[in-house]
Amino acid sequence: MRLRPILTAIGAALCLAAAADVADEARGLLAKGDADSACELLRAELDKNPDGGNAGTLNSLLGDAELMKGNRAAAREAYNRATKRGVADAYRGLGRIGMQEYDFSRAAADFAKYTELKNNAKKPADPAVEQERKTALNAVQHLRRVDDVVILDSIDMPRQSFFEAYKLPPSSGRLLTADRTPNPDEMTSHSAFINEQQDFMLLGVTDTVAESKPLEYIRLNTGEWQPAEVDSTLYIGNFDYPFMMPDGQTLYFASDGDLSIGGLDIFMATRDPEDDSYMPPINLGMPYNSPFDDFMMAIDDEHNVGWFATDRNSPGGDVTVYMFIPNEIRRNLDPDSVDIAARARIADFRATWPEGADYTELLEKVAAIDPDAAPKESIFFPLGDGTAVTDPDDFNDDAREFYQQYIAAESELADVTGKLREMRTRYHDRPSERLRDEILGAEAAQERYREQMRRLRSQTVRTQLRRN
């Protein structure tokens, strides 16, 4: 008769061990990003034994899996079942749901509860949760200062091509992906900014400890880009997605770190033209920033429109690019407004429009802008006196004629150089006297074109300077 209790105890122990194995397997699946398989595994185990000794842990993991899939309602149900069993990790999950739903005060309380339960159980608390709590409290303050800005439009774009939604005219400069910058091998940030004059470039580069820091490049009269470090005031976290206003003093960029509401946030910093130093960066707040990644603020002064990107509608996936009308002076919404959270997260961009507003003409005008169709050819032709010609139309008539001949000679030289490279390769594989003579002739032509280019460059410079 004493055998049955022993067998029951053994069975319970085996069930706990099996549930522990399921929990470990689920953690492995979540670490690989396979939330679907984790959900299936955890639900199957909980269906078999919903009140088992490890049910709290399994429900907390189920909440993690559902949240990873974007199912906040299902995640909350699972976390709530786990909290009834005193699982601290479930409160962390509820805190993250609160952040996503802009219930920041509740999120801060849930993060604090996580730490309290860990301390009571004398178990180590993840120090990152304390930072999450501070971020939530920071967000509470930002929710009281939501900019009353008109959001003109929104478009969902693949993360790798979202730049295409930015219809910046040449007067606002250019946004480049890292692989299109002048020195792509040295630049590992997501983007770079080049001004209208194409003599200033700003981007983030990754240092030896894998942190992205700002780096400037100044274009010299020789056409080469000279790097220069940036004022360390901007070192508030990883630096990326810069945009400098045409005034050369107002910088927008994205960064993470303690000042962020969550992930990347958009910051503004003002530059002193006297010594190139920056004032401490300011978080732009809401609706521009959110508990998700927000980045790439760019403003077109010519048409008074701006853009910024965010993955708040699809965390980690596609991004939404919002186009807005910048306020000359910031106007914050009434913090006690019933729709303050909806306006902060841009639940409906048309809700930002004044009654009776019609932006059709402005939207059509912006849509017609082609950032890659610069009306004039862009060049860089140093004149030797510290200046350079950057537009062919800036040459006087006589100098322009010499310049055009110079360009023609440059094209001929490139053609001969290409053919010479090919002949040398063929000669290396199968030498012949005829091919040797052709190589010597090409080398002579190459030198003639070089001399012609030197002469034409000199004539262009002298004629331009004489007539200026």
Confidence band for 310, pLDDT divided at 50, 70 and 90: very high
Last residue of a domain, one of 107, 142, 177: 142
| Residue 372 belongs to a domain | no
| Residue 175 belongs to a domain | yes
Provide the total of helices (H) and of strands (E) in the chain, helices listed first.
Answer: 11, 15
What are the pLDDT digits (tens) for 81-96?
999 999 999 999 999 9
Last residue of a domain, one of 367, 390, 414: 367
Dihedral of CA atoms 325, 331, 336, 340 in degrees, nearest 10, equals 20
Task: Report d(CA 464, CA 468) in Å as an integer.
Answer: 6
| Amino acid at position 409, single letter | A
Q: What is the CATH number of the domain that holds 14?
A: 1.25.40.10
| Residue 214 belongs to a domain | yes
Q: Clarify whether residues 228 and 332 are in a common domain.
A: yes
Task: Report d(CA 248, CA 200) in Å as an integer.
Answer: 10
Task: Report d(CA 98, CA 63) in Å as an integer.
Answer: 13
Q: Do residues 253 and 214 make contact, with C-beta atoms less than 8 angstroms apart?
A: yes
Task: Report d(CA 311, CA 346) in Å as an integer.
Answer: 12
Q: Clarify whether residues 164 and 128 are in a common domain.
A: no
Q: Angle of helix 72-83 relative to helix 55-68, nearest 10 degrees?
A: 160
Q: Clarify whether residues 363 and 393 are in a common domain.
A: no
Taking the model in full, what pTM does it have?
0.73
CA-CA distances (angstroms) from residue 202 to 96, 97, 407?
34, 36, 30
Higher pLDDT, 220 or 136: 136
pLDDT of residue 283 exceeding 70: yes
What residues contact residue 444 under an 8 Å CB cut-off, 6+ apart?
A: none
Identify the domain containing residue 209 by its residue range. 150-367
The number of distinct structural domains making up the chain is 3
Strand pairing report for 305-310 and 294-300: antiparallel
Last residue of a domain, one of 93, 111, 142: 142
Q: Clarify whether residues 133 and 169 are in a common domain.
A: no
| Residue 21 belongs to a domain | yes
What are the pLDDT digits (tens) for 234-266?
999 999 999 999 988 999 999 998 899 988 999
Task: Report d(CA 317, CA 312) in Å as an integer.
Answer: 9
pLDDT of residue 14 exceeding 60: no
With residue 198 as reference, give the H or E element that holds it: none
What is the pLDDT averaged over residues 319-340?
94
Q: Clarify whether residues 301 and 448 are in a common domain.
A: no
Q: Angle of helix 3-31 relative to helix 55-68, nearest 10 degrees?
A: 20
